[in-house]
Structure 1
Amino acid sequence: MISLCMSTIDNVVNFTDCTTMPSNGDAQQDPRIIRALERSLELGETGIAVAAYYRGKKIIDAVAGVANAETGEKVTRDTLFPVFSVTKGVVALAVHLQAERGLIDLNERIAKYWPAFGRNGKETITIEQALSHRAGIPQMPKGVTPELMANWEWMIKQIESFTSIFPPGEANAYHILVWGWIVGEVVRRTDPQHRPVEQFVYDEICKPIGAKNFFLGVPDTELQRVAKLSGGNDFVMQDDYGICPRAVFPGSEIHNTRIVQQGVDPGAGAITTASAVAAIFGIVAGKGQFGGHQFLSPERVEAFAKFREGAYDQDKILPIPVWFGAAGYWLGGEPTASDPLVGDHREIVYSPGAGGSLAWADFRKDLAVAICHNNMDTPMILEPERTYAPIVQAIREIVKDLE
């Protein structure tokens, strides 16, 4: 287990300190954000955190509510939240770092880098197909448990023996959980140092930009900082293929357990702060540049907005519109399919997580935003007023003032 991006404790934002704009104009404590967070609590949130970077500068880092509804412990900037599939956006970035360095060809077969993967109908699956959920193997291993899921080598051996459910490259089938091990193993095998994916993410993404509090496997010393989740234990989908077995279902019942919090799940297991996630997405928002480092070329980041093959085909797993790109991110700007909260144009990529966690990068505006929370049954996906809507409106107003 590797602990990622350790930090010192940030200053806590609380409502009583933030009723007026500070004299230094620090938008991190803008009263519009505080009012928006208060409104989100009224609409059903329990604990919530939001952070944003604009043109490489942190402009928002605020929290509200309680981290544990049973004890009443308040959320602070140091509270860690499980963010589920927001994790995919970070690990996809790791793949693109390898591609930028010439260590991965996204159009190449996974089996070139991971020979044992290439059997039972998986021989032709490419890295891009895995990134874009068109690999055709969305299932989790039979008999998986949280303990087995935390055993990296066991998971890899099971995936090697998988038989394709859908013909590779021919069907959109969201790989809810297994995606992380497929992509994470590709990163490990193409890294000259053969570092585990959690170490790679720390060394190559978090550490250079000072992104703090991003964990793929929470160490013992930090477990007390993890927010207690509630809800999210049911999902309206017919699981005919063992995509989300009950034993490892991505809801509060399973993800409040220590074994899951400390396991490495690169597709749905990051536990982090909004500030850390927003900083990482700032690399994308800055077209590859952030914190004085050039991670990717602008052209590579712009290509993140490329549609995947069969973009308009209905997903075989999720019953909702899945407007997904070829590079491993959901895409903005598609009417009735993209999440309107992230923006309305094509130069946006985002990663939503189970229960409502959300992060996005707008590389037209150089804006990165992350929102974390712990009530997985919040009505944020319901109309007429979603719990995130006031927050997003406040962010837009603050950015407009800064333009």
Structure 2
Amino acid sequence: MATGLTGHRWDERAQERIEGIVRRLVESGEETGLQVAVYVDGEPAVDVYAGTGGRADGAPPRPVGPDTPIHSFSTGKGFTATLVHVLAERGLIEYEAPVARYWPEFGTHGKERATVWHALTHTLGIPQLPARLTPAELCDWDTMCGVVAGLEPLWEPGTAGGYHGWTFGWILGETVRRVTGLTPGAALREYVSGPLGVADELFFGLPEEAVGRAAPLVEGDWAAWLADLPESAPFRRFVVPNPGLWTTAELANRPDYLRADLPACGTTTARAAARLYAALLGEVDGVRLLPPERTERVAAVAVEGKDRMLLGRYAKGLGYFLGLPAMGGDRSCFGHHGSGGSIAFADRTHGLSFALTRTRLVGGASDTTARLLAGEVRSLVPPVH
């Protein structure tokens, strides 16, 4: 376990409190491995890490270090959204343009006028995947782009919202590929992680040399939580229609899955994810990913109301969730969480960014760690005046 540098609005004694909470969670067995990172005013304030990952190939669990990549599922959607916004700022993508302008094969079955804005806000209408899809097919880019292009919307694009758990990645990822000529992972490196100096810590698919560095995940009660969902539940019926597509440790520990370019997900360190969000709020070592006016636009409420797949009420910006429980319900916060309890977000009220990655996957009532630690951090940083 270790802590990083301190920001000028950050009390050094407070770092000990965060470190103490993380130590207690790991030593009690409630968590196996954690990374927690915070930036305040564009400066690294906390870099805490403790515990281990799971076992891989029968080897003993490896300690989690500050540079250990941890697969964090849909936390990566925030990376994808950020990449799209960086390209939009460069004039390569327009939010109101039909996806089919960039990807003509997508414009079928009523999707001809479905826009990038619809994709970013989960209102496009194709959250579903074929029931017999296999993990191997999931990992094949061309196969999945063909599947997604051929989907028929469950509702007219723009008339309702429903979480596009997997399809979000191919819709926006193939759009990125068409406008840049780069795979989504290569584009992320070129436009986001490279300029931020975290190209070896923030990924969609892992390069071969990084697969062995990643911490294997372990199941808490997340897989059981998914299994307890009624088969008629929209998330279970449409988004993850068979157990092979469930976002579990079993899937995340597959080498082919870890290597696959899947922009619906991400593998990262907490400090890299926190750095990305810090660079959406302001400069980080001279790098700012978006100008203030675009950050304001993408972090504002774009859609709000009942989500047809998740069945709760949510506020969403352009590719980000707003005011999640770990964000204290504050809509000035924007970011994304991932299956099993990871999260990364920016808090505009406090001028901070927060990221938590974890090796033990939990859900439901057990998913309290991010809320606990993010709440502690936010209580210790005074609002920006």
Q: Shorter-normalised TM-score: what interval?
A: 0.7 to 0.9
| Cα offsets for 1:85-110 (capped at 9, x unmatched) | 11000110111111111222101111
Partner of 2:139: 150
Matched, 1:277 2:262: no
**Secondary structure in 2 aligned to 1:183?**
helix
What are the ranges of 5 or more consecutive residues in structure 1 without an aligned counterpart? 1-12, 333-337
Q: TM-score, normalised by structure 2?
A: 0.87
Q: Report if the CA contact (8 A) 1:66-1:74 is conserved.
A: yes
Matched, 1:320 2:306: no
Q: Report if the CA contact (8 A) 2:343-2:370 is conserved.
A: no
* AA at the equivalent of 1:261: L
Q: Describe how 1:190-339 pairs up with structure 2 within 5 A.
A: 190-191=179-180, 194-211=181-198, 212-231=200-219, 232-233=222-223, 234-235=225-226, 236=229, 238=233, 239-241=236-238, 243-268=240-265, 270-286=266-282, 289-309=283-303, 311-312=304-305, 314-325=306-317, 327-332=318-323, 338-339=324-325
RMSD: 2.6
C-alpha distance in structure 2 between counterparts of 1:88 and 1:45, whole Å? 24
Q: Offset at 1:82?
A: 0.7
**Secondary structure in 2 aligned to 1:95?**
helix
Which among 368, 378, 383 is matched to residue 396 of structure 1? 378
Q: Describe how 1:95-174 pairs up with structure 2 within 5 A.
A: 95-141=84-130, 143-174=132-163
Q: TM-score, normalised by structure 1?
A: 0.84
Q: Offset at 1:153?
A: 1.2
Range that drifts further, 134-143 or 347-356: 134-143
The percent of aligned pairs where both chains have the same amino acid is 30
C-alpha distance in structure 2 between counterparts of 1:183 and 1:391, whole Å? 31
* AA at the equivalent of 1:391: L
Matched, 1:88 2:101: no
| Cα offsets for 1:229-275 (capped at 9, x unmatched) | 1222242362333544322211112111111111111002x111101
Q: 1:241 to 1:342 in 2, by over 3 A?
A: closer
Q: Report if the CA contact (8 A) 2:350-2:383 is conserved.
A: no
Q: Report if the CA contact (8 A) 1:67-1:73 is conserved.
A: yes
C-alpha distance in structure 2 between counterparts of 1:225 and 1:356, whole Å? 21
Q: Offset at 1:137?
A: 0.4
Q: 1:219 to 1:295 in 2, by over 3 A?
A: closer
* AA at the equivalent of 1:219: P
| Cα offsets for 1:364-403 (capped at 9, x unmatched) | 3321110000111267655xxx323442344235534999
Q: Offset at 1:295?
A: 2.6
Q: Report if the CA contact (8 A) 1:83-1:271 is conserved.
A: yes
Q: 1:162 to 1:43 in 2, by over 3 A?
A: same
Partner of 2:30: 44
Q: 1:225 to 1:378 in 2, by over 3 A?
A: farther
| Cα offsets for 1:3-53 (capped at 9, x unmatched) | xxxxxxxxxx35xxx7xx9xxx99599321211102333371111110111
Q: Report if the CA contact (8 A) 2:281-2:292 is conserved.
A: no
C-alpha distance in structure 1 between counterparts of 2:13 and 2:114, whole Å? 44
Q: Describe how 1:346-357 pairs up with structure 2 within 5 A.
A: 346-357=331-342
